[in-house]
Amino acid sequence: MQSENRPSKKQRELLSFIDGFIKGHGYGPSYREVMRALDYKSVSTVAAHIDGLIKKGHLIKKDNSARSLEVVSSEAEYKPKSHVSKADEKWLVDKVSKKFDEAEKNGTNQKEIDNLYVLVGALHVLGLKEAANSFKPRLKTFKEQIDEEGK
């Protein structure tokens, strides 16, 4: 792929989120899920970014149905190198997932949410951006619950 087709940092973040979401759920995210996870201000902003990635050839829409996005770019082009082995990555992501599951089961408070943010940030720092991005919608849900309780 030529350099003018190389995705920007923001586009790589979007591609990484979509790719991680598909790997985690087996289907593509809705535009609203992308908006919430990546803190875009509107669904139309998401649509504009996705249309740009489709034009550059990084994404395709399999058909006109919802959740039909597919990442076509090679991950090696935009994925940072991680020094974490696949086995360690799986172990770590499983541990973080268990922490989220416990918080969903037992309820949570602001301190626990802060700890979950730290775990997701650690995944990001380790180069496991797809995994980190896949937890963002769950973090946002917790934050919204705490905000509602505070009202």
**CATH code at 16?**
1.10.10.10
What share of residues in the chain are helix, strand, coil (percent, to 5)? 70, 5, 25
Q: Please indicate, yes or no, whether residues 71 and 104 belong to a single structural domain of this protein.
A: no
Cβ atoms of 29 and 66 closer than 8 Å? no
Last residue of a domain, one of 58, 78, 98: 78
Number of domains in the chain: 2
Cβ atoms of 47 and 53 closer than 8 Å? no
Q: Please indicate, yes or no, whether residues 56 and 14 belong to a single structural domain of this protein.
A: yes
Q: Please indicate, yes or no, whether residues 71 and 94 belong to a single structural domain of this protein.
A: no
**Chain position carrying tokens 């505070």:** 150
Q: Please indicate, yes or no, whether residues 69 and 97 belong to a single structural domain of this protein.
A: no
Taking CA atoms, 16 is separated from 53, 59, 80, 115, in Å, by 12, 11, 10, 23
Per-residue pLDDT of 58-115, as tens digits, reads 888 887 777 888 888 655 444 555 667 888 888 999 999 999 999 888 887 888 888 8
Q: What is the predicted pLDDT for the residue at 151?
A: 63
Q: What is the predicted pLDDT for the residue at 114?
A: 86
Q: Please indicate, yes or no, whether residues 56 and 99 belong to a single structural domain of this protein.
A: no
15: domain range? Answer: 3-78
